Amino acid sequence: MAFPYMEAVVGFMVVMYIFESYLDLRQHKAIKLPTLPKSLQGVVSNEKFEKSRAYSIDKSNFHFVHEAVSTLINTLILYCGVLPWLWTKSGEFLVSYGFNVENEIIHSYAFLGAVMIYSLITDLPFSLYSTFVIEARHGFNKQTLALFFKDQLKSILLSVVIGPPIVAAIIYIVQIGGPYLAIYLWSFMFVLSLVMMTVYPILIAPLFNKFTPLPDGELRTKIETLASSLNFPLKKLFVVDGSTRSSHSNAYMYGFFKNKRIVLYDTLIQQCKDEEEVVAVIAHELGHWKLNHTTYSFIAVQILTLLQFGGYTLVKNSKDLFQSFGFDTQPVLIGLILFQHTVIPVQSLVSFGLNLVSRAFEFQADAFAKKLGYTTALRGGLIKLQEENLSAMNTDPWYSAYHYSHPPLVERLAALDETDKKDK
């Protein structure tokens, strides 16, 4: 008897929806608490707390609706055989225009085109509501409808330009891969990830935001002095105009080897009036670099990718897998999609494990900044970012453990205090 892959996938989706909805309810209850955590009382203003509480509740309500609709639609798509129907219809579409439907790569393009159109239609109402209702209501949205749709169009065009060559390469590799298929696929994705990490900040990100050098001044001098003291090979220091779309703030770094760059959101500079707080945030980010967190994470992702492709090779020719989802043929693209569905349970566990590691890295980076003498400034910066981004002040421990890659503010401040006590 063939294993019921489709029924198992749908069943797990439902179970995960119930489990995650339970966590969402716990978090919803936590964010509705009318008082600040004791450790934040007197630290975060009541005005900011009430604003963050209202924002978190709005986002939580929206999340409940979004997840319910998404789960229902995805379940119906699998259970009602929409994928094999769409594959057949995309083939008929190609035939009607004189294309050779036997060409699997072209057929895959048509299928993905249909999926992209469907995703745009179903995702657009939620994106519009999130951006122009929730984000706007709480003072975060800064973009116009014209800019919103301009970004959407740019994203579509990038997908059309970048996607087809990648899809064609993957299909070709699978067709000729033989016994070393997993290694070939991993090698391709490894090179592709390096290329995208190089190309994205230089060619793609500037299509959406303007990057300008941080002007000469005390802030620039402090950051360059800090980077030099740690032997961080800082080549360029940018400010990005994040304020054109949102008042949320951030900072990040990128680049390989001796060509590192740091990017500050203009909103971060505006919100942290004390320049030492901005420098402390950068010290935290440099801690990730100095402690090799980025390298460890990259290696972990490569190992997981190789294992995932290894698993795919075990089922890529399984007739039972394809037939369970309603397919009479075994296209490469469809095989990859179906495999992704079947390993969702494993991916959920892996994601949870990576979150635990990421949280540990955040504590370590905070401690690194503390050792550099930025304890007070980092505390101030973390609190300011929490307040200005209206992040949830009260968090459920189960929810945060499962979802958060960064520890809640209360835990980070407690860890900094604990470090101080140990040093005394």
**What amino acid positions are annotated as catalytic residues?**
285, 366
CB contact at 8 A, 310 and 186: no
Q: For residue 213, what are the β-bridge partners?
A: 238
CB contact at 8 A, 117 and 109: no
Choose among 269, 264, 208, 194: nearest CA to 236. 264
Query: For residue 257, how many other CB atoms are within 10 A of its CB?
Result: 6
Residues in the chain: 424
CB contact at 8 A, 283 and 366: no
Strands, sheet with 211-213, edge to edge from the N-terminal-most edge strand: 211-213, 234-240, 260-265, 251-254
Per DSSP, the chain holds a count of helices (H) and strands (E) of: 17, 4
Q: Residue 339 burial by CB count (10 A; 0-12/13-18/19+): exposed, middle or buried?
A: buried
CB contact at 8 A, 306 and 186: yes
CB contact at 8 A, 366 and 383: no
What are the structure tokens assigned to 71, written together? 């789960």
Q: For residue 237, what are the β-bridge partners?
A: 262
Dist CA 272 CA 387 (whole Å): 11
Positive or negative CA dihedral for 266, 51, 129, 145? negative
Choose among 267, 211, 273: nearest CA to 239. 211
284 carries a ligand binding annotation: yes
Q: Residue 258 burial by CB count (10 A; 0-12/13-18/19+): exposed, middle or buried?
A: exposed
The torsion angles phi and psi of 177, rounded to 5 degrees, stand at -60, -40
Dist CA 287 CA 371 (whole Å): 10
> Which residues are annotated binding-site positions for Zn(2+)?
284, 288, 362
